Amino acid sequence: SRAYSLVDSSQVSTFLISILLIVYGSFRSLNMDFENQDKEKENSSAAGSFNGNSTNNSIQTIDSTQALFLPIGASVSLLVMFFFFDSVQVVFTICTAVLATIAFAFLLLPMCQYLTRPCSPQNKISFGCCGRFTAAELLSFSLSVMLVLIWVLTGHWLLMDALAMGLCVAMIAFVRLPSLKVSCLLLSGLLIYDVFWVFFSAYIFNSNVMVKVATQPADNPLDVLSRKLHLGPNVGRDVPRLSLPGKLVFPSSTGSHFSMLGIGDIVMPGLLLCFVLRYDNYKKQANSDSCGAPGPGNISGRMQKVSYFHCTLIGYFVGLLTATVASRIHRAAQPALLYLVPFTLLPLLTMAYLKGDLRRMWSEPFHSKSSSSRFLEV
């Protein structure tokens, strides 16, 4: 089936949405750092001493071991979905729907905070063992649950895209790369993973494993439930099969084809963009603390003004453009990371070497210091 063809004019929409998701997720992550720093300052002031373990436990930092084994774990998961999809599709659909609900609620939270600020205090409401939540959090979660239910009932691609966007932003915001070394290990391993399962899996499994898993629809849980409970032929049988939100899809102008980009092709480069944004902020604070000390003498002032975030973001756009051109030339699905990883990592490594930051970015995890300036110029 060519219903999810990667070769389509709607790829322009994919470019814009993926870049917006990366930028928004990176800045949400940076804002979370600022909020955690403020809480640490408040706790240290109240307790009279600094508690270094007061960071947000919900943030997951990937270390070198996890970066090396993540492609292996992803390969195992891909094979399980390829061979046993019919057996696990309902469980996988329910788990995906739950995660998408939480992620989309996180995506909606700033808007809900803005809407509820004039009419309600920010005091948290207790729900017993479930925890305490603000009115904005309850509103965002309610809207997210409503959207997931409508998606289950209709299976519309636009609602699936909305859930996939929430997953992208949440993963970029809550997962951190601590150093350039870990970034290179992770992205290089995923590049090999992507290339193998797109280009070479057909020689072993007689099918393109990556494309088949990405485009295979799942049975609707409502249909499965109606059959299990014997509710009758007219109950729950009109609901469509669901295409899971592991990708962004956009229809062509004729509506006969969809362009597709996996969320991994957004999230993994997005983690690198998030890392360099945090490093730009870290370096800006360090320069302000040292009274604006100039950089190395062999680097022009114009080069010093170019941020790592801008450099890597431009590389991501060029990589996406190259992947699209390659897919049109070869008329086949392309592993996007084959183009995204070199076009993001190589310019970043080159610029870090020229600026003299490569050693510090490579092996020394940084901890952004509290600063009176909460905004980074972009």
Catalytic residue among 194, 223, 238, 280: 194
Task: Say if 229 falls within a structural domain.
Answer: yes
How many Cα atoms within 13 Å fall on the side-chain side of residue 98? 6
Predicted confidence at residue 106, as pLDDT, reads 93
Residues whose CB falls within 8 Å of the CB of residue 29, separated by 6 or more in sequence, listed in order = 172, 173, 174, 176, 274, 277, 278
Give Rg (Cα) of the chain. Answer: 23
Instruction: Give the count of domains, the chain.
Output: 1
Q: Which of 161, 223, 265, 280 is catalytic?
A: 265
Exposed / middle / buried, residue 228 (Cβ in 10 Å: 0-12, 13-18, 19+): exposed
> Is residue 151 included in any domain, yes or no?
yes
In a domain, 135, yes or no: yes
In terms of Cβ atoms closer than 10 Å to its own Cβ (0-12, 13-18, 19+), residue 168 is: buried
- In this structure, the number of other CB atoms found within 10 A of the CB of residue 354 comes to 16
pLDDT digits (tens, 9 = 90+) for 225-268: 777 776 655 655 578 888 888 888 887 666 656 778 889 999 99
Is 377 among the domain residues?
Answer: no
Average pLDDT, the chain: 82
Confidence of residue 125 (pLDDT cuts 50, 70, 90): confident
Q: Is 280 a catalytic residue?
A: no
Is residue 50, in this structure, part of any structural domain at all? no
- Whether 170 contacts 105, CB under 8 Å: no
pLDDT at 315: 95
Pairing assessment for the beta strands 175-176 and 60-61 based on DSSP bridges = parallel
- Residue 325's pLDDT band (cuts 50, 70, 90): confident
- Is 125 part of any domain? no
Write out pLDDT tens, residues 13-51. 788 899 999 999 999 998 888 887 777 777 666 555 444
Of the pLDDT bands very low, low, confident and very high (cuts 50, 70, 90), residue 367 is low
State residue 254's pLDDT score: 62
Phi-psi region of 292 (alpha: psi -120 to 50; beta: other; left: phi over 0): left
Would 45 be classed as within a structural domain? no
% of the chain residues with pLDDT over 90:
41
Active site residue 8: no
From CA 81, how far away is CA 211, in angstroms rounded?
Answer: 12
**Is beta strand 125-126 parallel, antiparallel or unpaired with respect to 175-176?**
unpaired
- The bridge status of strand 247-251 relative to strand 258-262 is antiparallel
Per DSSP, 266 falls in state: H
- Rounded mean pLDDT, 54-80: 86
User: Is residue 230 a part of any domain in this protein?
Assistant: yes
The parent domain of residue 239 ranges over 9-40+59-118+131-261
pLDDT tens digits, 265-307: 999 999 999 999 999 988 888 777 665 444 454 455 555 677 8
Q: CA–CA separation, 172 vs 47, rounded Å?
A: 32
E-assigned strand segments in the chain: 60-61, 125-126, 132-133, 175-176, 247-251, 258-262
pTM to 2 decimal places: 0.85
For CA atoms 109, 175, 355, 320, give the dihedral sign: negative
